[in-house]
Amino acid sequence: MRLKNFAALFLMAALLCAAPSCSGNKSGADPSESPSVGPSEEPSAVPSDEPSAEPSDEPSVEPSVEPSEEPSLEPVENSYTFGSFEKDLGEGKVARGHWCKIDLSDERLFFNSVYTTRLETLPGMYNHFMEEDITPYVIINAGYFGGTTAVSPIIHNGTLMTTGADSEGKYDGHYLVRAAFGMMPDGSFECRWVYPCPDDVYRRLWAFPSPLGNDDRTDTYMTSAPTTKTEGAQVWEPDEAIGGGPMLLLDGEDVTIESYHKEVHAIGGRGGYARHPRSAIGTDADGKVIFLVVDGRTAAGGAGATIPEMAVYMKELGAVSAINLDGGGSTGMVGPEGTYVDHPSETRKVSSAFMISDKETRRSYIRY
């Protein structure tokens, strides 16, 4: 019985010694004899899953643009140029002209017809618009008037403000087809001979290829008004326009003499061939607008200009089409400071003007 018990104990001891626990503490092995598998391994021995730190592998980042680096617009003053000239006329006489050429492709500049029923000087117009938060850059006198009434057609904002003719379509007792200058809806400019045809129920101006049947050299005058059925008649609908006359240049051709007599500017005499202060407006081949005034009748000197001489001066300034405007004491041009750039013979109040400004004058106060 004892032998059996002893044998059983011996077998159990042998089994226990064969168990893993009898090999000693497995963690007690010498670390120097074990292969290193810990974090002490060199990084190069393990493929990196991290993105490369090389700058070339970084996503491209645009540098921030400082406000000072943004492209700047050219000053608006670069879109219009003032200048002057002197012409030796002989016998100690000099013609002094003052001009402004305006590039209206600059979208910050606006072309406006100004019409006032109470008359105003050009500096007075300037001050009026400054008070309305509109900055005028240049203003030139425009159409003819008598008393306080405009006798040249005026269109503003596409609306015919005045026809320049009486209820029968006459001015000074005649049916006069005269020159006008206008800006069309597409921004282009035109010089046309125009008339408010009485049979047009929509009350528009109509353009014609010539001044038609009048000629004061032969005392020939039309006995009835042109109509919408007259040969060559075309409705003329500019956004801004003012009449004057005579036509000076048309498509590069000097038409002054013929126009002067057929528009009947000499019915009261031949004043167009005498030198006086004068004004004109036109456009060059690039579409730039040209304002011109010539001094006369002043202590500052300047003999004035004849109407044919105005055509010559406008052509020398690059105009291909141009019309004469009201002259004499009405002649004047005001610059961006609100003062005259010429030497007017008088600071006359006028009924209309062309103005370049920083805003459109598309409100009712334009007729003030």
Q: What tens digit of pLDDT does each residue of 41-65 get?
A: 444 444 445 544 455 555 555 555 5
pTM: 0.80
Q: Which amino acid is it at 345?
A: S
For range 162-176, the mean pLDDT: 88
DSSP characters for 216-261?
TTTTB--SS---TTSTT-EEE--SEEEE---EEEETTEE-HHHHHH
Bridge partners, residue 283, by sequence: 289, 321
Q: What tens digit of pLDDT does each residue of 187-216 get?
A: 999 999 999 999 999 999 999 999 999 999
Share of the chain above pLDDT 90, in %: 70
For range 332-339, the mean pLDDT: 98
B/e letters for 69-86, b = 16+ CB within 10 Å, e = fewer, are eeeeeeeeeebbebeeee
The 8-class DSSP code of residue 36 comes to: P
User: Does the pLDDT of residue 257 top 80, yes or no?
Assistant: yes
Average pLDDT, whole number, for the chain?
A: 85
For range 222-237, the mean pLDDT: 97
